[in-house]
Amino acid sequence: MLGLALLGLPAAARATAQIQFDAAASNAFPTLAVPVGVRATGMGDVYTAVGDDVYSLRWNPAGLARLQGYQVGLMDNEWSSTLGLRQDFFAVGQALDGGAAWGAALDYFNLGTLDQRDGSGALLGQSAASAMDLTVGWAQPLPRLKGWQAGVAVEAVQQSLYGEAQWGYGADLGLLWQAAPAWSVGLSLDHLGVSGAGGNIPALAQAGVSSLWLARTLVLAADADVPAAGTPLLKAGAELTYGELRFRAGWRQALGQPDAQTTGFTAGVGFRVGSMTLDYSYVPYGDLSTVQRIQATIDLPRGFFAPREAVLEGTTTSAMAYFNAAAAWEKQGETLKALVQYQRCLEAYPPAQRAAALPFYAAAGRKVDELQALLSKGGDHSQIQKLTRATLADADRDLKAERYNEAIARLAQARKLDPDSPELKAELLEAQTALEGHISAFREAARSAAKLGSLADAAENDVKILAIAPDDAEALAYLTANRKAIKALLQATDRKAIYFYVAGKLEEAIKAWTEGQALDYFGDVDFKRNIDKARKQLELRSE
């Protein structure tokens, strides 16, 4: 599959293989056969049924359908700095509604300088050489076929050799089948096309299977490759996830006439930092070289680029905007809506400038008094009463659910419109008292647990404090100071839950993961994914 003979340069003084960049050769554009994606190369080039990222575009385009949001990938492959051989790969993808996704990738090779010779082998000169290809793909679930996904990609490739540019065009077709929650099967037909100068681009058929073990922390996979021209390969690979680390290994076995360039082991590691994953792979190619690739992949949620609701900041400009909106509502006879906007105008005006405020600020204050009096005395007083009743009902639900901050915010806003309501005043006092009482109880429990050396109990109560008082300095300080120890505790809980999961004790695993999630204020361990997976297993078991 790899076509590694293309990676040497035709110079007698170099102990590397010869490149066959002949436009009339049976396989033109050999750089298409060089693998991309550091995760894949670390696993022995096993990716047909594993791929779930933008690099799937060059292995099995159906894997794009597994994207969860936006993803950007960058790979650098230094084949030989001495010879000037370098590969750079850039890809971007996006998940869409309905499970569909698209992706695009640019793969560029700097092939250094090539010797140009005549028919007798005499050196005529040298010229720079390069190759690149652009691939665009689409993937989506197959309607009426549960667990099946399909993908298609088109590619345009160009190589510049001896001062001449040659073009080729191809297509990739892929299928993925989620045979079971932990098992996937993949099939792809890659580089189906021709060179504009004659000959074929390196077509390839791939089939693979992958499975997940140890609570989805271990991936085991195998692929079979059958190139249109070349040696078939059998490949196997594994990836183990431990916290933020990924460890990978693989083996490639050429059939027929194996050699050190197409048969041997591979290895790799990965490390996730926030939304970025950094990957490295080590792949020996016999006498040719040992290739070390690095890669950075950035994941962003689907709503990252979605328009956000505009929120006006506290400036004279924003205050003026609220004033104008209030005047417009008042002109339309919407007294209550106008009153709300006039109040926002007063709140948005910078406190430091209120002593010498612009005239509209004073006008807004007068309007608030006038409209409140109008609503209280006129027929529109029913609007305020209706708002008060709705606020009291909402606040009561919030208090029963222990959402004290939400209740206090609702009641405080309502009191601005109906400051004389005894019901609002009493409910606000009840909410504030309840909030302070719960914080006091949790604080006492946290302090007692800390004195007794009970890290779990102290952390649990501090997390409860922050759930209702996010800015509580004492709780934040304790969790921050003990974050490392808490993380170790959470990882131990995660391991215990994994043992339950592997033993088939799904209810106990869910309970342990849920307890860990309640303590994980900083999100140091991904409990949610395992909880969701265990619940799905329970659903399947009950079917």
Asked whether residue 398 is assigned to any structural domain, the reply reads: yes
**Residue-level pLDDT at 175:** 96
Highest mean pLDDT among 140-144, 268-272, 310-314: 268-272
Torsion sign (Cα): 156, 157, 160, 164: negative
199 touches 223 (CB < 8 A): no
Bridge partners, 146 (sequence order): none
Query: Which residue did the predictor score with more confidence, 84 or 172?
Result: 172
- The answer on pLDDT for 15 being more than 50 is no
Distance of alpha carbon 417 from alpha carbon 371, whole angstroms:
10
Asked whether residue 104 is assigned to any structural domain, the reply reads: yes
Asked whether residue 392 is assigned to any structural domain, the reply reads: yes
Place of tokens 């006038």: 370
Range with the poorest average pLDDT among 39-53, 216-230, 415-429? 415-429
Report residue 25's pLDDT band, with 50, 70 and 90 as the boundaries: very low
Residue after which a domain boundary falls, among 269, 300, 331:
300
**Residue-level pLDDT at 536:** 83
**Residue-level pLDDT at 24:** 36
Q: What is the overall mean pLDDT for the chain?
A: 81
Considering the chain, what percentage of its residues have pLDDT values greater than 90?
Answer: 29
**Same domain for 295 and 149:** yes
**Same domain for 36 and 170:** yes
Query: Which residue did the predictor score with more confidence, 259 or 225?
Result: 225
**Same domain for 327 and 268:** no
The tens digit of pLDDT for each residue in 88-113 reads 999 999 988 778 999 999 999 988 87
Report residue 304's pLDDT band, with 50, 70 and 90 as the boundaries: low
Average of per-residue pLDDT across 187-197: 86
User: What is the domain count for the chain?
Assistant: 3
**Same domain for 343 and 290:** no
Q: Which of 33, 27, 39 is nearest to 2 (CA)?
A: 33
Asked whether residue 187 is assigned to any structural domain, the reply reads: yes
3-state class (DSSP) for residue 154: strand
The tens digit of pLDDT for each residue in 320-357 reads 988 998 898 888 877 777 887 888 888 888 888 888 88
Query: Which residue did the predictor score with more confidence, 39 or 275?
Result: 39
Place of tokens 């070390």: 292
Asked whether residue 306 is assigned to any structural domain, the reply reads: no
Domain with 109 in it: what CATH number?
2.40.160.60
**Same domain for 152 and 236:** yes
- The answer on pLDDT for 48 being more than 90 is yes
- The answer on pLDDT for 463 being more than 80 is yes
Report residue 483's pLDDT band, with 50, 70 and 90 as the boundaries: confident
HSE-up of residue 398 (Cα within 13 Å, Cβ side)? 23
Torsion sign (Cα): 4, 5, 11, 13: positive
Range with the poorest average pLDDT among 67-76, 262-271, 500-509? 500-509
**Same domain for 182 and 78:** yes
Average of per-residue pLDDT across 69-97: 85
CA 465 to each of CA 108, 402, 443, 472, 494: distance values in angstroms, whole numbers, following the listed order: 53, 12, 7, 7, 24
Bridge partners, 142 (sequence order): none
**Same domain for 323 and 289:** no
- Predicted TM-score (pTM) of the model is 0.56
Long-range contacts of 419-425 (CB under 8 A, 24+ apart): 419/372, 420/376, 421/388, 423/388, 423/392, 424/388, 424/391, 424/392
Q: Which of 345, 341, 339, 375 is nearest to 362 (CA)?
A: 345
Task: Quote helix, strand, coil % in the chain, to nearest 5.
Answer: 40, 30, 30
Distance of alpha carbon 210 from alpha carbon 265, whole angstroms:
19
Burial class (CB in 10 A: 0-12, 13-18, 19+), 485: exposed
Asked whether residue 110 is assigned to any structural domain, the reply reads: yes
Q: Helices 381-400 and 359-377 meet at what angle, rounded to 10?
A: 90
**Same domain for 164 and 269:** yes
**Same domain for 225 and 249:** yes
Report residue 225's pLDDT band, with 50, 70 and 90 as the boundaries: very high
Q: Which of 291, 295, 266 is nearest to 278 (CA)?
A: 295
**Same domain for 525 and 383:** no
Query: What burial letters (b/e) apply to 374-401, b meaning 16+ CB within 10 Å?
Result: ebeeeebeebbeebbeebbebbeebbee
51 touches 60 (CB < 8 A): yes
**Same domain for 272 and 157:** yes
Query: Which residue did the predictor score with more confidence, 284 or 18?
Result: 284
Domain encompassing residue 504: 482-543
Average of per-residue pLDDT across 412-418: 71
Asked whether residue 151 is assigned to any structural domain, the reply reads: yes
**Same domain for 507 and 362:** no
Query: Which residue did the predictor score with more confidence, 126 or 203?
Result: 203
The tens digit of pLDDT for each residue in 490-525 reads 888 888 888 888 888 888 889 989 888 888 888 888
Query: Which residue did the predictor score with more confidence, 313 or 353?
Result: 353
3-state class (DSSP) for residue 189: strand
Bridge partners, 77 (sequence order): 87, 293
Average of per-residue pLDDT across 421-442: 80
Highest mean pLDDT among 26-35, 245-254, 399-408, 524-533: 245-254
- The answer on pLDDT for 540 being more than 60 is yes
Asked whether residue 108 is assigned to any structural domain, the reply reads: yes
Range with the poorest average pLDDT among 172-181, 280-289, 484-493? 280-289
How many CB atoms neighbour CB 508 within 10 A?
A: 16
